[in-house]
Structure formats: C-alpha cells, structure tokens
Amino acid sequence: MHLQVLYPFGMSSLHPAFEQAWTRLIRAERGLVEAIEAELRAGDFPPLAWYDVLLELWRRPNHRLRQSELQSELLLAQYNLSRLVDRLEGAGLVRRESCRQDARSRWVVATPAGLALRETMWPAYAAAIERHVGSKLSAEEAAALAGLLGKLLGR
Amino acid sequence: MHLQVLYPFGMSSLHPAFEQAWTRLIRAERGLVEAIEAELRAGDFPPLAWYDVLLELWRRPNHRLRQSELQSELLLAQYNLSRLVDRLEGAGLVRRESCRQDARSRWVVATPAGLALRETMWPAYAAAIERHVGSKLSAEEAAALAGLLGKLLGR
DNA sequence: AAAGATTGAATACTCAATCTTA
DNA sequence: TAAGATTGAGTATTCAATCTTT
C-alpha cells in the first residue's frame, strides 16, 4: 500500500494519519477546554474539575461516593483528588464523612449548595459546548467522533 | 426518551452525541497524554512540551523562531512560554538571542544539544503513539478522527 | 504487605503589574 | 497606545514520604 511505502511501520516511524490524529487531539482538547473554561469563568463559575466532581456525586444514591471511587471515575491521582476535595469542602460544596464499612475510606457528599451550583452551572456549560462543539459538527459527526474516541478509550 | 427528560432540548440543553463527544475528547486526550508522558519519563526524557518547542525550532530555517511566533504555534500564554523557555535554556537545549529587526522580540534558537535531544526523543515518542493510538485505530479510522478534529479546530 | 488517604517540599501555572521598544 | 516579553505573588500540581486501617 502506497502510504506504507512512504512511512513503513517499524522501530521509529509512524503512519502520518496517526501523527495528525494525535496532534489534533491535543490541540482540540486544550483549545476547547480553555475556551469553555474562560466562558464559565466569565460567568463567575468555578473550574470544570469542580463541576466534574459535583456531577459524579449528583448521579449517585445519596449524592455520595468514596474518594477512591471518585478518583477512578475522574482519572485523577490520589493526592490530586485529595486537594481538589479540600477546595470544594472549603467552599462548602461537599463535605467528608467517615466510612463505617472501611475506616480507611472517606465519603465525599455533595451539600445542598454543591447540588445547587451544579444545577446552575449546567446550562452555562451546555451552552458553551453547544457554541464550541455543536456549531462545528453535525450530530452525526459528533456521534462518529464519540465512536472513534471510544475506541481510543478501549470501549 | 430517558436522557431527554434529564436534558431536554431547548435553551440550555445539548444533543447527547455532543456531550459524549466532549467528555470522551477530554478523557482520551488526558489519558493518552498521561500514558505517553509516563513512558517517555521512564526513558529519562523530558515533558512533551519540551519536545514541542524543539520540534517547532527544528522545522525552521536556522532552527530559530521568535518567542511570539512560538507562542502562537504552541497555543501557550506569553508568561507560560517565557518560563518554559527559561527551563529549556537552563538545560542548555535552546538559547535566546536579541532580535535586530525588532528589539522588543527575542529569538529562541535550538542548540546542538537541543536538536540532538529531539532526534533521540522522536523514536521513543513515535513508538508510544504507535502503542497507544496505532494499536486502537486503523489508518482509515485515524484519518477520519483527524478529519473530525480538524473541523473542531476550524480547518 | 497493600489500600485509602493525606502532607511537606519542590515544581509549574496563573493573574496582574511591569518594563522596553515600536 | 500597543506589542513583545518578563516577573512577583498567589494558586495548583507533582513527587515522595507518611499515616491509618485492612
């Protein structure tokens, strides 16, 4: 096949389509996150990481999750999550509770203020996604993109 | 439909395909960058940001670029690039030169050590991309992904 | 020993202010 | 005034070490 002659697979080469997909993946993610977070900041909302925590908690029974579960949901390092939860707790959006079943663990529980913030934040967030993603892809293209990214994620 | 109850279409809602594409874009980018950077770190290589700078310089005549040009190429904030270049300069990989044409500007020039590092780093980087991206998508899928991401980037 | 979580110290990033030259 | 770049101070992230419980 033609491209394989120009860029044979081997020790140190890479098909250009992979390289381009890789560089664009990084640029698209960073550019869009920056643009969307700037819009949220302009609306006096906290960073997306705060939303992510509140969303995970909101989805669960009793709006609570063990830190270790939050950690694996959000793909965060343990020490990173520990300090993120510190900040949310300091802002009164979550509280920590000790865990009967396993005293090593701690629950992270959304407070009413945390749930209210997530609810207020969602329309602004959705509008920003609509503006930056929805305006550039059709629904079919978005579905195709989600499918390809799913493969990268092993789904 | 269930999701429409949670996220009805309207002023502040979003087609689920956009939401899924968005969340997967973030997860795929972060997971892959983390995995690939971990491999490079294990091979005693510096962060990808260093590679990005050295690559841009390598591509240019005389292996040099104004800081402001590097900044727009790499989509970095000015203060961020300033300190990234400080670190590369401290490691002897680039040097700064004053600019005759516009004394406000400074050139960033790759040193022989910087060019050599980029060259040594590429096979390891390419192998990591191959392992984490090439193994999960066909070349056709990678090209389709690059095309969709290009739309998101306005290309 | 391993899992869950936290912390001190070092590094990196961000915001706003600053400096120089165009 | 604006462009290019840098810097001090504050915030966030990272690494390694630590603590408690399983």
Q: Which structure tokens are listed for B152? A: 């998101």
Percentage above 70 pLDDT, chain A: 92
Closest nt by CA–C1' to B76: C13
Strand C contacted by A83 CB (< 7 A) = yes
Ordered DSSP codes for B121-137? HHHHHHHHHIIIIITTS
Q: Is B68 exposed, middle or buried (0-12, 13-18, 19+ CB in 10 A)?
A: middle
Torsion of CA A140, A141, A146, A150, to 10 degrees: 100
Classified as helix, coil or strand, A93 is: coil
Nearest to B26 by CA among A52, A130, A79, A84: A52
Apex B152 CA angle, B40 and A41, nearest 5: 85
Supply the pLDDT for residue B12: 56
CB A19 within 8 A of CB A100: no
CB contact under 8 A, B17 and A143: yes
CB B75 within 8 A of CB B56: no
B129 vs A19, A33, A137: nearest CB: A19
- Mind listing the pLDDT tens digit for each residue in B27-39? 999 999 999 999 9
Strand order in the sheet with A64-66: A64-66, A106-110, A94-98
Which chain B residue has its CA at the smallest distance from A135's CA? B152
What gap in Å lies between CA A71 and CA A10, rounded to an integer? 37
What gap in Å lies between CA A50 and CA A88, rounded to an integer? 7
- Mind listing the pLDDT tens digit for each residue in B63-119? 999 999 999 999 999 999 999 999 999 999 999 999 999 999 999 999 999 999 999
The pLDDT of residue B57 is above 50: yes
Q: Which structure tokens are listed for A72? A: 């694996």
For strand A106-110 and strand B64-66, is the pairing parallel, antiparallel, or unpaired? unpaired
Instruction: Find the farthest-apart pair of alpha carbons in chain A and give their distance in angstroms, rounded.
Output: 63
Supply the pLDDT for residue B4: 37
The pLDDT of residue A78 is above 90: yes
